Chain A
Amino acid sequence: MDFVSIKKRLLKFSRSAWTPFAAIPIALGIGAILLLIAGYDPIQAYAAMWQGAFKDRTAITEVLIKATPLIFIGAGLAVAFRCSIWNIGAEGQFYAGAVAATAVGIYLGDLPRFLLVPLVLFAGASSGALWGMLAAFLKNRFGANEVVTTIMLNYIAIFITGWLVTGPMIETEGLFAQTAKISQNAWLWRFLPPTRLHTGFILALVLAIVLYIIIFKTSLGYTIRAVGINPDAARYAGINVKRKVLLAMAISGGAAGLGGAVEVAAISYRLYQLISPGYGFDGIAVSLLVNNNPLGVIFSGILFGALRSGAEVMQMNAKVPSVLVFLIQGLVVLSVVAFGVYSYVSKEKEE
């Protein structure tokens, strides 16, 4: 490789890597204006946010805990989005995974640990994968737009969960709308006591790396991306487009379902209606932010984990409503989109 192409690659890398860093200040800046208008002190609000996310070791591990489901979901969505499958249904797939994992963790609770933990994770992943594949099937078989079907499947999964935790799976005391705790044999290891940091975080990192390798370093990943860039061309080249769509949704849904299983097995130990505070939707931004690169998702997942974790503290200490985070996330996506175009324009000038 000659020097010029190395330089080009470096330039390209630095551009794509810096985009999020440039997008975040812009989003926070617009957020600050809104804070001012609504009568808050933006500096105080953001200081509380920063404090909440990075104050001490416990705060930082809480960020990583919040980042864990986002990395699972975001890494999976990166695969679907690379295939141009607009899976908006990670929320429902996360729920599907959490439900299956809870059922296994409760009803097969007598199994020994070395069997039960993998089984719980497997149940979560396969349940999420099936929920995702349902949308892929409807697209392949009936041409139903996956944006609409995955959203409908979100609502259905959430309502089913609501029914399960108030009806068939409600705890025996029956006081709250939640299931009993899963068996201790299903719990993931919290390896840094007294913090809650757990092995699920490590698993999320591993999954992100594996999906990165699959999508960018294997011929399978190449065909998935080919379908995403131009399905007709891919079809003429002999790629079975429908099978790739099904596979991309299985990976994407499976990753989200695994995230749901980990949340149950490491944090909540049980299922309740609001097991996900919108992780599936955050995951969309997490993936888009790094141009649908599973490796980059580790970075953006931690960033969004910090935003969420910090926002909770901001709400407590500076009395600023934490929903502001949704706005900031949306603005981050829009700024990234805008920057993407400008770097494209400057690239054209270079050539």
Chain B
Amino acid sequence: MDLLPSILFLQSILAATWRMATPILYAAVGEVFSEKAGVINIGLEGVMLIGAFSAYSVAFESGSLWLGLLVGILAGILSGLIFAFFTITIKANQIVVGAAFNMIGLGITGFLYRSMYAVSPVPLGLKTFPSLEFPFLSSIPFFGEVLFKHNIMVYGTLLLVPVATFVLYKTAFGLSIRAVGEHPKAADTVGVNVLRMRYVSVMIGTALAAVGGAFLVLAYADQFVEGIVSGRGFIALAVVVFGRWKPWGAFWSSLLFGIFYALQLRIQTMPDVNIPYQFLQALPYLATLLVLVGFNKRRVQAPKTLGVPYK
């Protein structure tokens, strides 16, 4: 019967979906923190590149993926500190600074990559995080392949999303973050340090964006390539909107984008499909557009002072 090939097809799509969603999800959850506090960072793409490159070069030189990840996160935090200085202390336009960050990210990582690795005598591949094998679970037909054969950074998202939700909605810290995004004046009157909360939120955002970038080199591809992020930072921005500024919302909507990525990759490898590959490549971006159009009507969900400097 024809059933088996289509089940295998579905299995391969779904298995790739979560993996493809992961880098977007890390960046999007980070951006939720940033935007909840009232700061929009369109420089995510650049920060992801910086995270990817620093993680790659440290992991490559030291041989330790975890050290690479750590340094990637530190690079993300440092980027966030600079972004916050310009947008919060100097009160520069957030879009302008974000655009500058994208250029800087592309320039600095491209420059360092070409200087350090373009003509390398040794192979540049990393031994990426391996897929985990769970006893019994991984061997369940279909579900084993889809759910139980991923690497540690993919499973990290299962920790990330509940923790982020808890922090944002169940702690005083999270309440302050949301307060400085909704009513900074009121937060200020009750003694919340608005500027400091925004600094911290921005840096949480860029740290997680850097993890998303690091995922691409440590747990997906095995080396850095110029422009490896290829728009995922921008898609993360759309995911935040589509997920209504909530971590779980970001989780489900990034899985949706994961499906389009997976579909696109899978169909490209099928010999008997005659769709030009450029249309398939355009699929995730087209989906982003449609999603923004279809689901963005309820603008009320956006933090009230998004994009507005305080005082």
| A residues at B contact (CB < 8 Å) | 34, 38-40, 86, 88, 138, 142-145, 147-149, 151-153, 155-156, 159-160, 162-163, 166-167, 281, 284-285, 288, 321, 323-331, 333-334, 337-338, 340-341
User: In whole angstroms, what is the CA distance A337 to B90 when docked?
Assistant: 9
| B residues at A contact (CB < 8 Å) | 42, 46, 86, 90-93, 95-97, 99-108, 110-112, 114-116, 118, 226, 231, 234, 237-238, 241, 276, 278-279, 281-282, 285-286, 288-289, 292-294, 296-297, 299
Top 7 nearest A-B pairs by Cβ distance? A327-B107, A326-B107, A330-B103, A323-B110, A330-B104, A321-B114, A163-B278
Q: Please give the distance in Å from B311's CB to the nearest CB on chain A.
A: 13
A163-B278, A288-B96, A323-B111 known; A138-B234 Cβ under 8 A: no
Say whether B116 contacts A38, CB under 8 Å: yes
Say whether A326 contacts B285, CB under 8 Å: no
Q: Please give the distance in Å from A208's CB to the nearest CB on chain B.
A: 21
Say whether B97 contacts A337, CB under 8 Å: yes
Say whether A334 contacts B100, CB under 8 Å: yes
Q: Please give the distance in Å from A40's CB to the nearest CB on chain B.
A: 8
Q: Please give the distance in Å from A161's CB to the nearest CB on chain B.
A: 8
Say whether A341 contacts B297, CB under 8 Å: no
Say whether B278 contacts A138, CB under 8 Å: no
Say whether A138 contacts B95, CB under 8 Å: no
Say whether B299 contacts A143, CB under 8 Å: yes
Residue in B104, B114, B279, B294 whose CB lies within 8 Å of A159 = B279
Say whether A151 contacts B292, CB under 8 Å: no
What 8 new A-B contacts, CB under 8 Å, besides A38-B112, A145-B292? A40-B115, A144-B292, A148-B292, A152-B285, A152-B288, A152-B289, A160-B278, A329-B103
Chain B contacts for A341, CB-based, 8 A? 90-92
Say whether A337 contacts B92, CB under 8 Å: yes
Instruction: Determine the residue in chain A with the shortest Cβ distance to B242.
Output: A148
Chain B contacts for A143, CB-based, 8 A? 296-297, 299
Chain A contacts for B112, CB-based, 8 A? 38
Say whether A337 contacts B111, CB under 8 Å: no
Most buried by A among B105, B276, B278, B294: B278
